Structure 1
Amino acid sequence: MTSGRQLFLDVAASAAALLRDPAVAASWETDSALAEFRVSGLTAHLAWQITIIPRLLAEKPPDEEPVALFDHYTTQAVWIGAPLDDDLNVTIRRLSEEMAADGPGALAALVDAAIGELRDLLPAEPAGRIVSLESMVLSLDDFLTTRTLEIAVHSDDLAVSVGVPTPELPAPAADAVIALLTRLAVHRHGPTAVLRAFSRAERAPATITAI
């Protein structure tokens, strides 16, 4: 199994542990740190980043050519910068709440089961495996990178929402996520803005958010 696939499993396991933190269940019905998202929905959205993968691997690989990872974010990821009331964001919140309907214990069990499946599935998938999700067509390894980023970001969202420390990512995962976010921030704001944000507090822009 490639190091990237093992890294995804390690990051997924850290998210699974966060889902079982008693603070998540205690805060289940409260508002999260994300506008319009309750803790329940946010937790389900985090869980979905993991549970979707066995389902995709059960499908026949698409015939289309995969898009490169960076091109996915610049041409396919229409959610970047979309307002809260955008149809896509409204749908994500609705589906997340539906996924959370059976409660935190059931959701955590779904994640644990998916990780168990993936420990067997991922080593068996060929290097060139392609997966598709709606309009997204990526290599499996690039798709796992997108999910690693999502898990990292939403684990922080959830931890802040329920008042527990943010899980610490394995160093290689943190490096990969930060490198990708940096490249996306440069694409969105330009190299000068990112340079100043990293090096000059007196000239730093108000934001260099990448996604």
Structure 2
Amino acid sequence: MTTTDTRTAYLLAAEQAVDLLEAGEVAHRWQKESVLPGMSVGALAGHLARSVLQVEWFLDGEVTGAEPVTPAHYYARLTGTTAPGSALNVGVRARSEETAAAGPEAVADEARAAWQRLSARLTAEPADRRVAVLHRPGEEMLLDGYLRTRCVELAVHLEDLALSVGVGTPTPGAALAVAVDVLVAAARERHGDQAVLHALTRRERDVEGALRVL
């Protein structure tokens, strides 16, 4: 996938996310529980919005030239993804609720404005552009690699939020393809190819649940 393909896939999915954040159904159910236990619709919307907002934040962060982390490794090393009380999930909920505190209109407006700026900015960034991963001090990724992780987040949480408020919001196919590619690569790195092969072809031997990355 080329730089142009990656950035186009990301921007299309981000636009779909912004459209959903602006939907009246989201504002109406802001305080209600989402399909993710322990997470309100507002917090889920805040989490979705951050896949647009953080790209700008990371682009504006200071880079030092550290070896860039790959999208597969970004996910492969995560622990506690399925435990609600894990440090990972507690941190995600806290950051999401912090964003959601501004309210549905402000979150949607901020995400729309960021998407508009990124639509212009991403066309001018070079292929070797790096970004600082601000919640992991000292860590960096290539911009296109980070956008691939955002395609994962957008693909997963667009569906979560749409189901939470009862609307149909399909994720653009290009972003879905990126998400599957990244997550399968993460599964291979985490569990090895034999385990992933079992998960794909011999479920009775899939003792590790190798394809479950998040």
2:149 corresponding residue in structure 1: 146
- Residue 89 of structure 1 corresponds to 89
Q: TM-score, normalised by structure 1?
A: 0.86
Q: Which amino acid aligns with 2:213?
A: A
1:43/1:125 Cα in 2 relative to 1: closer, same or farther (>3 Å)?
A: same
Distance 1:174 1:95, change over 3 A: closer
**For each residue in 1:169-202, what CA deviation from the matched residue of structure 2 results, as whole angstroms up to 9, or x when unmatched?**
1x3222221122223334455555644554567x
Residues matched between the structures, number? 207
Q: Following superposition of structure 1 onto structure 2, how do residues 68-107 of structure 1 map, counting pairs within 5 Å?
A: 68-75=70-77, 78-79=78-79, 81=81, 83-107=83-107
Greater mean deviation of Cα atoms: 133-142 or 111-120: 133-142
2:180 aligned residue (178, 181, 192):
178
Question: In the alignment, which of 155, 158, 174 is matched to residue 158 of structure 2?
Answer: 155
List aligned pairs for 1:38-117, cutoff 5 A.
Answer: 38-75=40-77, 78-79=78-79, 81=81, 83-117=83-117
Q: Tell me if the contact between 1:18 and 1:167 (Cα under 8 Å) persists in the aligned partners.
A: no
Percent of residue pairs bearing the same amino acid type: 36
Verify the 8 A CA contact 2:9 2:175 in the aligned structure 1: yes
Alpha-carbon RMSD:
2.3
Q: Distance in 2 between matches of 1:26 and 1:58?
A: 33
Which residue is equivalent to 2:121?
Answer: 121
1:65-102 deviations in Å (ceiling 9; x for gaps) = 21222223234xx3553621123322321232121122
- Aligned CA distance change for structure 1 residues 204 and 18 (closer, same or farther; 3 Å): farther
Shift of 1:113: 0.4
Moved over 6 A (4+): none
Give the distance between the partners of 1:38 and 1:108, measured in 2 at CA: 16
Question: For the residues of structure 2 that align with 1:16 and 1:79, how far apart are their CA atoms?
Answer: 29
**What are the within-5 Å matches in structure 2 for residues 5-20 of structure 1?**
5-20=7-22
* Residues 61 and 129, structure 1, Cα contact 8 Å, conserved in 2: no
- Does structure 2 retain, via aligned residues, the 8 Å contact 1:44–1:100? yes
The answer as to whether partners of 1:31 and 1:39 remain within 8 angstroms in 2 is: yes
CA contact (8 A) 1:62 1:131 kept: no
Q: Which amino acid aligns with 1:124?
A: A
- 1:173 match: secondary structure: helix
Q: 1:164 aligns with which of 152, 163, 167?
A: 167
Unaligned 5+ runs, structure 1: none
Checking the alignment, whether the CA contact within 8 Å between 2:43 and 2:93 is kept in structure 1 is yes
